Amino acid sequence: MKPFALLPLVLAVAHMQPAYAAIYKCPGPSGQVQFSDRPCNGAAESPGSEIKVKPPKVSQPDQQSRSEAELDKEWEDARRFYYVELPDAERKAAELMASPDPKAQDLGRKLAWEAQKGREAFEELKKAHEQRAETKQRYKDALRKLGSP
């Protein structure tokens, strides 16, 4: 899963404003209770007849609720990909490009291109991982300054 795939969803949820609906409980012509979205009989709003309805709280996306252990496991998986699988793919690409067969050479070039994209993606992930560690340390330092244990 790409780390930024959920970014549009996270941004959309973060910018959602809570919606409130005014519902009024009014006596009907026969004495029965009726509910309306307007004040009773066009009168000014009275505090006793208005019912406040709030929307349910929006749950946080799964991306934010993942535990530190899960994030650490994903980091280790990415490192394994970078240090084990990518070099294997690059070796295979070099072998294919050295082949006299033009189709194998083409396949080797494609594999080398994919390996390069994988390296670039890992470097981006590595920067984010380092920033995450720095942010955690700054947070701990700020808590310590505040007087928390």
Residue 148: the pLDDT is 66
What are the pLDDT digits (tens) for 98-119? 999 999 999 999 999 999 999 9
Would you say 51 and 24 are in contact if contact means Cβ atoms under 8 Å apart? yes
Distance CA 97, CA 104 (A): 7
Q: What is the Cα–Cα distance from 36 to 42, expressed in whole angstroms?
A: 11
Q: In this predicted structure, what is the pLDDT of residue 4?
A: 55
Question: 115: buried, middle or exposed (CB in 10 Å: 19+, 13-18, 0-12)?
Answer: buried
pLDDT tens-digit series, residues 40-97: 776 655 555 555 656 666 555 555 556 888 888 999 999 999 999 999 999 999 999 9
Q: Where are the domains of the chain?
A: 19-52, 67-146
Q: Which single residue is written with the structure tokens 């280790």?
A: 76
pLDDT, position 26: 77
Q: Which residue has the tokens 């928390």?
A: 148
**What is the enclosing helix (H) or strand (E) of 23?**
strand 21-27
